[in-house]
Chain A
């Protein structure tokens, strides 16, 4: 995790798992909806199937995303949803980044 100074002067960390651009996109898209399927996230983020799978595994392993596998008719169907932990982590990330930019000196 990247380190920066918070408002109180204490060192704070930036969640690198979310900070990666592709995962940030995935998290942002899942944050604004209740749940979405694999295809929807693929289309919205422009990621390939393999790329999305790999990032999703990392987010799932961290407990940020819940992957619900099911069937629509005979076809397998995967729904993705941010967990409570994932939502909190994304909120924390937003606050951290905002603070980082606020601390930047004027040109």
Chain B
């Protein structure tokens, strides 16, 4: 084997060790679970329910990585290529967060989504479009970040959005999202816990 490929593999393996902890899976599973209960907590929290959805997942990931992941794998600063990828991710996150905030403002001010929903041909078609956009977006992030689990997350969100929309016509709201995202979130969290226990077994906490 070419030695250049070996070095690339070493770098890739080192980088991927940070995503094999299961903490990201748990964090994403928690995000889906908070989406599942969103219609219920909306009544008690008002518009602040968005914060209840957004905050727990990154909090679990950052605390988990700090106290479990990094404490067991160790710390590393990657090279120029990874740094430029990280910069691009920051830019994409900034743009998408701005768009998300704009969407929320437009929705609450009544301008959106009526017009676009009609343009896309109704509820189910609109939700399918959102699912595809989310899946493609996650796919692009997965490619840039070299983190293939993001494709799985994109797929899970895509399936969740379309299934919830289909179920809404049968069992109504809020059971549609509670059931869909509840099941998907639980499955992903369990998958993350299994991965985390494997990781903790493989990398015991260093003494001292």
Which A residues are within 8 Å of any B CB, using their own CB?
28-29, 31-44, 77, 79, 94, 97-98
Contact = CB atoms under 8 A, between A and B. Distances in A.
A32 B7 CA distance: 7
Contacts of B93: none
**Interface band, chain B:** 10 to 19
A55 to B, nearest CB: 16
Max chain A Cβ within 10 angstroms of own Cβ: one of B14, B75, B76, B78: B76
Contact of B203 (A33, A43, A97): A43
Contacts, number: 58
Contacts of B206: 39
Interface in B151-174: none
A31 B76 CA distance: 12
Contacts of B11: 32-33
Contact of B76 (A40, A94, A97, A98): A40
A28 B13 CA distance: 12
Given A29-B14, A40-B14, 16 more contacts: A32-B7, A32-B10, A33-B77, A34-B77, A34-B78, A36-B75, A36-B76, A37-B74, A37-B75, A39-B73, A39-B74, A40-B73, A40-B74, A42-B74, A94-B3, A97-B3
